[in-house]
């Protein structure tokens, strides 16, 4: 595994919330994070068919343009009864042409599950997946994958999360991600969310040893 030899990382995202989240994660270890937007970089087209491929596309584009290691993540919902959909196209399922509507996307998933007669919990299994990619300007990359297994429920429950959180019930819990606080999902000692688990792997491998 290649280790970081500098203290600057580019966050390959134009999302201010994601930048703040990552900056807060790496700041205590003496690392500085700036976003691709701060460098004036365009968002590359995500043409991959896996979470790893799309995470790499974003990270390598930022790394090659800035000459610095770049971090990105790609995440989504994988539903077994739908052949793994929406998967890497999770965000696309919410696109309306005028922003994203995840209430619409959740209805679409439920409609397709009903078409597949997936009406019992054992037929409604799925998982949230998050892949973090740390890429260098020479093309080298390290990957950190976090995922959490669960069941798709209906109707949606909770308003604390975002995306598909209100219909995702993680295994072993009685509340959906939409009913859980950010602190619960990002627990330091036992991360629950897919993104928190991926970041925990990244932190242990790349930050604590740097």
2 domain residue, yes or no: no
- Supply φ then ψ for residue 133, to 5 degrees: -120, 130
139 domain residue, yes or no: yes
61 domain residue, yes or no: yes
pLDDT at 190: 76
Q: How far apart are CA 12 and CA 18, in angstroms?
A: 10
Give the pLDDT confidence of 45-94 residue by residue, as tens digits. 999 999 999 999 999 999 999 999 999 999 999 999 999 999 999 999 99
Structure tokens at 23: 């900056």
1 domain residue, yes or no: no
Does 5 score more than 90 pLDDT?
A: no
For residue 62, CA distances in Å to 43, 92, 113 come to: 9, 22, 38
| Domain ranges, residue 103 | 8-207
pLDDT at 210: 61
CATH of the domain at 201: 3.90.950.10
pLDDT at 89: 96
Give the pTM: 0.91
Structure tokens at 206: 């790349």
155 by Cβ neighbours in 10 Å (0-12 / 13-18 / 19+) ranks as exposed
Q: Which residues are catalytic?
A: 74
3 domain residue, yes or no: no
Does 170 score more than 80 pLDDT?
A: yes
Give the pLDDT confidence of 11-50 residue by residue, as tens digits. 998 877 777 778 877 888 888 889 999 999 999 999 999 9
**Percentage of the chain exceeding pLDDT 90:** 71
Number of domains observed in the structure of the chain: 1
Partners of 34 in the β-ladder: 10
């Amino acid at each position: 595994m290649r280790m970081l030899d500098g203290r600057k990382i580019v966050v390959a995202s134009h999302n201010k919330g994601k930048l703040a989240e990552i900056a807060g994660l790496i700041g205590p270890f003496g690392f500085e994070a700036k976003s691709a937007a701060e460098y004036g970089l365009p968002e590359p087209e995500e043409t991959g068919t896996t979470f790893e491929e799309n995470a790499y596309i974003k990270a390598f584009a930022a790394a090659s343009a800035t000459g610095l290691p770049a971090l990105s993540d790609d995440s989504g919902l994988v539903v077994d009864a739908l052949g793994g959909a929406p998967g890497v196209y999770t965000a696309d399922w919410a696109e309306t042409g005028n922003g994203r509507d995840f209430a619409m996307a959740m209805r679409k998933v439920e409609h397709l599950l009903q078409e597949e007669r997936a009406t019992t919990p054992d037929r409604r299994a799925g998982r949230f997946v998050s892949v973090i990619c740390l890429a260098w300007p020479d093309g080298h990359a390290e990957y950190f994958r976090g995922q959490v297994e669960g069941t798709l429920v209906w109707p949606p429950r909770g308003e604390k999360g975002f995306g598909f959180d209100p219909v995702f019930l993680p295994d072993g819990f009685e509340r959906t991600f939409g009913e859980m606080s950010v602190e619960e999902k990002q627990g330091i000692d036992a991360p629950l969310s897919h993104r928190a688990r991926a970041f925990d792997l990244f932190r242990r491998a790349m930050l604590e040893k740097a």
